Amino acid sequence: MNALVIGGGGREHALAWKIAQSPLIEKVFCAPGNPGIDRLEKGESIALSVDDFEIQAEFIAARDVGLTVVGPEAPLAAGVVDYLSERGRTVFGPSAAAARLEGSKAFAKAFMARHDIPTAAYAEFVEPEAAMAFVQEKGAPIVVKADGLAAGKGVSVCADVDAALTAIRAMMVDRVFGDAGAKIVIEECLVGEEASILAFCDGRTTMPMASSQDHKRVNDGDQGPNTGGMGAYSPAPVVTAAVMREIEERILRPVVAGMAREDTPYTGILYAGLMITEQGPKVIEFNVRFGDPETQVVLPRMRGDIVPLLLACCNGALEGHEIDYEDNACVTVVMASGGYPGPYEKGKEIAGIDAAEADSDVIVFHAGTRQEGDRLLTSGGRVLNVTACDPDIRSAIDKAYGAVRKITFDDAHYRTDIGRRALARLDV
């Protein structure tokens, strides 16, 4: 059968790359895709909008697509799974009702409170004056979050009250995130080390994937504004076997059980962004799709065929399946356009990808590129995910940065400390 991946970034390139390895798949279409996907033996980009569900349904019917995998959060929140499922199509992802776990921070926090899932104390606001008064009473550090979808950038971790007041004004008054900031959530600032856990779900059963850790801030040392993610590594040493058991028992299973009890069964990928505190793991946020760039370091470590797992989630038949991972480490470094996550220029010519990928343990996932004749050009904020696997985290970091140094485009920016927390744990 053929598969369709909806989306066009680094996550979708990684998904298409892994799905294309399945003997069950003849062709992997990606809408709108990117030049990296077109380089896959089975890959083909299709000029379809992620938001045009009717055209997607027509394409699926015309091209014998037996499995559709939705990458980005926006079409999930808008109901793409509902739309295609009602027309008899097999789609991997949650319904619009279940996607509220990511689409509304306030919904997710209230859900966790109802089901005793550990998270930070919080309050929600629809009036900026009330939010500002709350911050002035509580003090800092404190976290301000836009309620709606903001492409991973709607969170401000504020070290002082003035920064929090500025964040509130930006979200609620200036509407820098549009309607996503009409309501905000203000949380206590959790202390610990972050980790990401992605889990396959079929409405009843959960199957966690290997642990990973994202790097959200744009600059070294976790400085600067939040981004969609500047790099990641897997596994995350902070997630020990005991911590993973606690995550499953106190977070993943209660989420799926709670969603089922509320008549919104959860299928697809559940992404738990966690803080590993002295009191145990606590939820920072939920995403309702494969993480980006976590997917780019978890999938290269996965042994075997991903397609049966995707189908099992769609069909409520996940129980009994297993996932196995290579006993290695994987690191991805995001090469971004200068200025990201703020304004940046496009159209810079990219060179050196073939040289970087001459090492069989390196793969470069395209995140924001376009092809113009023989020239590969930048077209987004996050341009490339330079990914390397090796036997241990230290050597994987070295290999990834060795590949990064072979790739060039004007005004490229990347962090030089991806994986530093893992190295710190090794050095203890």
Q: Where are the beta strands (DSSP E) in 128-204?
A: 142-146, 155-158, 184-188, 193-202
pLDDT band, residue 335 (cuts 50/70/90): very high
pLDDT tens by residue, 94-136: 999 999 999 999 999 999 999 999 999 999 999 999 999 999 9
> What pLDDT, on the 0 to 100 scale, is given for residue 275?
97
Half-sphere exposure of 398 (CA within 13 A, CB side): 7
3 state DSSP class of 388: strand
> What pLDDT, on the 0 to 100 scale, is given for residue 94?
98
pTM: 0.95
Half-sphere exposure of 97 (CA within 13 A, CB side): 8
Asked whether the beta carbons of 89 and 60 are under 8 A apart, the reply is yes
Q: What is the mean pLDDT of residues 298-327?
A: 97
168, two tokens? 């509130």
Q: Please, what is the angle between helix 161-168 and helix 128-138, to 10°?
A: 170
Is residue 428 scored above 70 in pLDDT? no
Q: Which of 228, 244, 267 lies closest to 94 in space, CA to CA? A: 267
> What pLDDT, on the 0 to 100 scale, is given for residue 151?
77
The DSSP secondary structure of 162-174, one letter per residue, reads: HHHHHHHIIIIIS
409, two tokens? 């485009």
Q: How far apart, in whole angstroms, are the C-alpha atoms of residue 283 and residue 301?
A: 25
Residues whose CB falls within 8 Å of the CB of residue 58, separated by 6 or more in sequence, listed in order: none
Task: Calculate ∠ Cα 378-380-384, nearest 5°.
Answer: 65
**Structural domains for the chain:** 2-92 (3.40.50.20), 127-182 (3.30.1490.20), 193-325 (3.30.470.20), 329-427 (3.90.600.10)
Give φ, ψ of 205 to 5 degrees: -110, 145
